[in-house]
Amino acid sequence: MAKQNIQTLKGFRDFSPKTMRFRNEAIKRVREIFEKYGFEEIQTPALEYQEVLLGKYGEEAEKLMYLFDDPGGRGVGLRYDLTVPLARYIAQNQDTPMPFKRYQIQPVWRADKPQRGRYREFLQCDVDTVGSFSPIADAEILAIIWDVVQNAFNFPDFEIKINSRPVLFSSMEKAKIPQKKWPSVIQSIDKLDKKSRGEVEEELHTRGINGDQIANVFSAIDKAKPDNYLRQVVKFAQNMGVTNLVFTPALARGLDYYTGTIFETVVTKPKIGSIIGGGRYDKLLGDLGGPDLPAVGTTIGLDRCMDVIQELNLWKDIPPAIMGLVTTFDKKLSYASINVSNILRSGGINNIIFPDFEKNLKKQFKYADKLNIPLVFIIGPEEFESEQVTIKNLKTGIQETVLQKELVDKARLHI
């Protein structure tokens, strides 16, 4: 077998125990916030029929899909996001009580060009309310975003940009852009957070928009105001404690299916760009052949958020999962080691028994050190004889010999 292919696929990553501790902590915090706001979890399969996936996201997206025939010859694909699977779920479960407030935390796959912050398998944390036109539903999604960014992730500098498709369309009307050109104009002005006005003008030119029209577009956007619905959303959100909302009339969001409120959260320092996007999509469920229900929701891109948390070193004190290493002296005494390990495990102290008793204590200590295990428990012949255990704290250097029956209490004092 060729050695060069014994590796992860390009654009894909393994997660080490250390990385998983951070990811699990993040998922736990996000989950707690979703449930605080009354959302419940569902999961859907990784694979969907191609009929479910195609025609929902636009052509560019479809190029990035993992589409193939399964061993039975059916055209299938890996899910591209969690929104279309939600729509399919609703279509299939029409007795679901409405409004349906669901969250979903699962990976999605896109064969995108791998680069910093962009992976081919990444975890989306979606939260959506289906079946309500109320601006309270939009506001709650904003409250969740704010709570996650502010309290779960502790990002110091961020903005939640909001706009709505009706506001955007009204700008297009005011600028007298012919309706068939709206999609390409909207796509260009959506880039105003990354590109200069000049660059966007250039792009609009190449897309066949003339100079007058371009001037009109910028003028309409500069004068745009939130409509009644959007004002209501903002007021409700503020009542839920949301700050950092910024009305951004050029914000468009790429995906075709949004119909109302749209929002995007950006980390402003360091300038990482969009980490959370979402909005209202009142037509998608009907389009999919399901019931004609409104919906609003957001997607938290966990991988990019983890990058920010790591880059800013925001979380310093994730506790280790394993608190102790129980050493083994020889085969006979390994039963005593097992006994000590049992006592600690029953007492809630997660620990490893070093299984290879032929290795000397120095090697066993080195192992604990490499794994960042704070406590080592030693059972040599003397300890065994006197029903004792020696506790060595690798962080403080403190060492003490204690009775086995006091072991859990004594060990806890070191934690």
307 binds a second copy (CB under 8 A): no
Least separation in angstroms between CB 191 and a second copy: 24
User: Any contact of residue 45 with a second copy (CB under 8 A)?
Assistant: yes
- 83 forms part of the interface with a second copy (CB under 8 A): no
Query: Which residue matches tokens 């479910």?
Result: 52
3 to 42, contacts with a second copy by CB under 8 A? 3, 5-10, 12-17, 20-21, 23-24, 35-38, 40-42
320 upstream amide cis, omega within 30 of 0: no
Task: Please give the C-alpha separations between residue 296 and each of 71, 132, 140, 233, 391, in angstroms, as whole numbers.
Answer: 36, 8, 10, 12, 55
Strands 100-109, 121-130: pairing is antiparallel
For the record, the structure tokens of 49 come out as 């029929």
| Measured torsion, CA atoms of residues 306, 312, 314, 315, in degrees rounded to the nearest 10 | 60
**Which range touches a second copy (CB under 8 A), out of 150-158, 270-278, 318-326, 381-389?**
318-326
Restricting to residues 98-117, name those near a second copy by CB under 8 A. 99, 101-102, 107, 109, 111
Residue 49 binding a second copy, by CB under 8 A: yes
Can you tell me which of 265, 299, 328, 404 binds a second copy, judged by CB under 8 A?
Answer: 328
Closer CB to a second copy, residue 122 or residue 218? 122
Give the Å distances, CA to CA, from 77 to 46, 101, 113, 216, 217.
Answer: 8, 26, 19, 42, 39
> Taking the alpha carbons of 269, 156, 127, 262 in that order, is the dihedral positive or negative?
negative
Question: Of the ranges 127-135, 184-192, 221-229, 310-318, which one interacts with a second copy (CB under 8 A)?
Answer: 127-135
CA distance 333 to 124: 49
Which of 27, 58, 118, 121 lies at the binding interface for a second copy (CB under 8 A)? 121
Q: Judged by CB under 8 A, which stretch of 135-143, 159-167, 178-186, 300-308 contacts a second copy? A: 135-143
Residue 295 · residue 126 · CB < 8 Å: no
Stretch that binds a second copy, among 95-103, 205-213, 268-276, 393-401 (CB under 8 A): 95-103
- Cβ–Cβ under 8 Å, residues 98 and 293: yes
User: Do 207 and 185 touch, CB atoms closer than 8 A?
Assistant: yes
Binding flag, residue 303, a second copy (CB under 8 A)? no
Judged by CB under 8 A, the number of residues near a second copy is 96
Residue 152, interface with a second copy (CB under 8 A)?
no
Nearest CB to a second copy, comparing residues 322 and 408: 322
**Cβ-contact 414, 406 below 8 angstroms:** no
Using CB under 8 A, which of 59, 60, 72, 397 touches a second copy?
72
189-196 contacts, C-beta under 8 A, 24 or more apart: 189/217, 189/221, 189/250, 189/252, 190/250, 190/251, 190/252, 190/253, 190/254, 192/250, 193/161, 193/248, 193/250, 193/251, 193/266, 193/273, 194/273
Confirm or reject binding of residue 178 to a second copy (CB under 8 A).
no
What does the per-residue mask of binding to a second copy show for 332-371, with x meaning CB under 8 A?
Answer: --xx--xx-xx--x----xxxx-xxx---------x--xx
On whether the CB atoms of residues 370 and 303 are closer than 8 A, the answer is no
* Residue in 61, 76, 245, 302 binding a second copy, rule: CB under 8 A: 76
From the list 67-75, 219-227, 387-395, 397-405, the region that binds a second copy by CB under 8 A is 67-75
Output the smallest distance, CB 91 to a second copy, in A: 5
Cβ of residue 394: shortest distance to a second copy, in angstroms?
14
CB of 314 to a second copy, least distance (A): 21
How far, in Å, CA of 325 to CA of 411, rounded? 12
CB of 290 to a second copy, least distance (A): 7
Footprint of a second copy on 213-242 (CB under 8 A): 236, 239-241
DSSP string across 47-108: EEEHHHHTTSS-HHHHHT--EEE-TTS-EEEE-S-SHHHHHHHHHH-TTS-SSEEEEEEEEE
Closest CB 307 distance from a second copy, rounded Å: 16
